[in-house]
Amino acid sequence: NAGVTQTPKFRILKIGQSMTLQCAQDMNHNYMYWYRQDPGMGLKLIYYSVGAGITDKGEVPNGYNVSRSTTEDFPLRLELAAPSQTSVYFCASSYGTHEQFFGPGTRLTVL
């Protein structure tokens, strides 16, 4: 099992550009999550999904969008990138309320 995979690993964007961060899991988990982690800080929940077709906002959803058309994939869309979105983005998945498994992260810089 690959677990949770994320692409790309690194990305530099210019202000105003858009991009999609990809996340996939092969553990048949129903719950998936997107977090951001600013330097030296904890994780903040952006969006989450409890199953295909169902998504909801977390603590810091502004400037982001998600979709979940399959159990395996949970892409995160950044529209009109801003310097405040410079962060490391982690995708995670879990089976219900059990432990969350994290992907390796995407390091995003917006200049």
Partner 1 sequence: QQPVQSPQAVILREGEDAVINCSSSKALYSVHWYRQKHGEAPVFLMILLKGGEQKGHEKISASFNEKKQQSSLYLTASQLSYSGTYFCGTGNAGNMLTFGGGTRLMVKP
Three-state secondary-structure class, residue 8: coil
Strands, sheet with 19-25, edge to edge from the N-terminal-most edge strand = 4-7, 19-25, 76-78, 64-66
Residue nearer to partner 1 on the CB measure, 4 or 110 = 4
Residue nearer to partner 1 on the CB measure, 31 or 110 = 31
Is residue 99 at the binding interface for partner 1, with CB under 8 A as the rule?
yes
Question: x/- site string to partner 1, residues 29 to 68, per CB under 8 A?
Answer: --x---x-----xxxxx--x-x-------xx---------
CB atoms within 10 A of CB 12: 11
CA–CA separation, 24 and 27 (whole Å): 10
The footprint of partner 1 (CB under 8 A) covers: 31, 35, 41-45, 48, 50, 58-59, 90, 94, 96-105
